[in-house]
Amino acid sequence: MAKRVGIEVSIAVSEAVKLANVDVVAAYPITPQTHIVEHLAELVADGHLDAEFIPVESEHSAMSTCCGSSAAGARTYTATSSQGQALMLEICYIAPALRLPIVMTVANRSLSGPISIWNDHSDMMMSRDTGWIQTVAENGQEAFDLTLHAFRVAEDSRVLLPVIINLDGFTLTHVIEPIEILDQKEVDRYLPPYQPQMRLDPEDPVSIGPVGMPEVYTEAKKAQDEAIKGSKEVILEAWQEFGDLFGRYYKPVETYRTDGAETLLVTMGSLSETAMTAVDHMRAKGKDVGLVRIRLFRPFPFEEFLAAVEGAKQIAVMDRALCLNGAGGPLAIEVKAALYDEPERPYIWNYVAGLAGRDVTIENFVEMADGVEAAAADGLRGDYTMINVRE
């Protein structure tokens, strides 16, 4: 039976990894991911988890090790953050190209410089185009649930791609809150043992990772692109089944009080909760504001997103990363591109907020909703501004 407990979100994530009965964990500690891998190392050392814990000498080695173990057919997990992910990025591109179903938690943290250990989404955006499936957790329960979902999706024979679960550093990783922890029987019903389609085996040799000459590289990338696009169906199916089994249903795009809303906020990650409360405040004052939260970032759920924002007059997109000198924050660019071909497009203003742990308050979300309405009324050309910057 599932049990509701007060638990630090990082520990709950490690418990999910344990319940997934992983074979190999290869990780290097980095703030704010540390508690996740420390707890996994303890679980292995104390005999609660029958897995190889490989304490590698860098994140580059961590991901290389994960590729090796996954290619050998082992259920493989790692976790990292920011600079650590930057160091492993070279291999992060290789894992999906080799179709290795590794699962990784990224405790989202800003990228240096200036040096920062605090939370934003710059690392998530850095790995945007690596070809990993990426989900984003809003709270501790989701972090737990999405971890199990990640293994289920990654290893599905129709997918075979690595999955990142994004989890706001500190804002989620270091918070204690009530989380329902499933038991082993329940998890086993949801997550079957991994059955590799192809693995490194001396009895049945294959070569993985060969050179892709110009005569084949384009075809290899086309196949990879089709694979991640096709993964959405399995992602939805795995969420549906999770809901049917445990009562918590997840969607790639969630809406909150969007009925009749002329103004929408668009968010991703744990601050979506703050935004919901802001929407409640605004609705109480008679303002027609709603919220659209994106849970699946890659593959980007275009269809669901367009349905969610249909009818809105203006949208305020909050980004938690900069796309320096680009057309806005990365999420806003995605949203604008998604809407470009629509016959009727809402007005869009982009707010870059919450960089490196800078608090984003309920008041800030009200400011964003008011701001986009004013900009639309004034007919300003859509742009981006940074919130809470001291001039």
Partner 1 sequence: MAKETGMVSWKDLALGCAIVKPGSSAELKTGDWRSERPETDYEKCIQCGQCYIFCPDMVYTQNELGFYQPNLFYCKGCGICARECPADAISMVEESE
Partner 2 sequence: MIEIRFHGRGGQGAVTSAELTALAAIEQGKYAQAFPSFGPERRGAPVMAYVRVSDEPIRTREKIYEPDIVVVLDPTLLGIVNVAAGLKEDGVVVLNTTKSAEEIRERSGITAKLALVDASRIAMETMGIPITNTTLLGAMLKATDLLPLSALEGPLQERFGRIAVKNIQASQRAYQETVVKE
Residues constituting the chain: 391
Least spacing, CB of residue 202 vs partner 2, in Å: 47
Least spacing, CB of residue 168 vs partner 2, in Å: 8
Bridge-based pairing of strands 3-8 and 176-181 is antiparallel
58 binds, among partner 2, partner 1, none (CB under 5 to 8 A by kind): none
The closest alpha carbon to 382, from 333, 322, 341, 343, belongs to 333
Shorter beta-carbon distance to partner 1: residue 4 or 221: 221
The closest alpha carbon to 171, from 374, 375, 10, 367, belongs to 10
Q: Is 276 helix (H, G, I), strand (E, B) or coil?
A: helix
Contact 330, 108 (CB under 8 A): no
Residue 322 in the binding site for partner 1 (CB under 8 A): no
Residue 90 in the binding site for partner 1 (CB under 8 A): no
Alpha-carbon distance of 366 to 349, in angstroms, equals: 14
Determine the interface stretch with partner 1 among 36-44, 218-226, 241-249, 369-377 (rule: CB under 8 A): 218-226
Shorter beta-carbon distance to partner 2: residue 62 or 107: 107
Please select the residue that binds partner 1; options are 212, 230, 311, 326, rule is CB under 8 A.
Answer: 212
Q: Tell me 253's DSSP state.
A: E
379: left (phi over 0), alpha (psi -120 to 50) or beta: left
Alpha-carbon distance of 10 to 23, in angstroms, equals: 20
Q: What is the dihedral of CA 1, 149, 256, 170, to 10 degrees?
A: 90
Shorter beta-carbon distance to partner 1: residue 223 or 389: 223
32 binds, among partner 1, partner 2, none (CB under 5 to 8 A by kind): partner 2
118 binds, among partner 1, partner 2, none (CB under 5 to 8 A by kind): partner 2
Residue partners of 75: CB distance under 8 A and separation at least 6: 20, 21, 22, 23, 24, 151, 155, 193, 194
Least spacing, CB of residue 207 vs partner 1, in Å: 4
Convert residues 219-248 into a mask of x (bound to partner 1 by CB under 8 A) and - (unbound): xx-xx--x----------------------
Convert residues 184-203 into a mask of x (bound to partner 1 by CB under 8 A) and - (unbound): -------------xx-----
Contact 290, 257 (CB under 8 A): yes
273 binds, among partner 1, partner 2, none (CB under 5 to 8 A by kind): partner 2
Contact 360, 387 (CB under 8 A): yes
Residue type, 269: G
Least spacing, CB of residue 99 vs partner 1, in Å: 4
Alpha-carbon distance of 50 to 20, in angstroms, equals: 11
Contact 28, 195 (CB under 8 A): no
Least spacing, CB of residue 215 vs partner 1, in Å: 4
Shorter beta-carbon distance to partner 1: residue 112 or 197: 197
271 binds, among partner 2, partner 1, none (CB under 5 to 8 A by kind): partner 2
The closest alpha carbon to 237, from 227, 224, 250, 225, belongs to 250
171 binds, among partner 2, partner 1, none (CB under 5 to 8 A by kind): partner 2
Least spacing, CB of residue 34 vs partner 1, in Å: 32
276 binds, among partner 2, partner 1, none (CB under 5 to 8 A by kind): partner 2
Residue 324 in the binding site for partner 1 (CB under 8 A): no
* Site residues, partner 2 (CB under 8 A): 4-6, 8, 31-32, 117-119, 168, 170-171, 174-178, 270-271, 273-274, 276-277, 357, 359-362
Bridge-based pairing of strands 24-27 and 76-80 is parallel
Q: Which residues bind partner 1 (CB under 8 A)?
A: 97-100, 160, 197-198, 205-210, 212, 215-216, 218-220, 222-223, 226
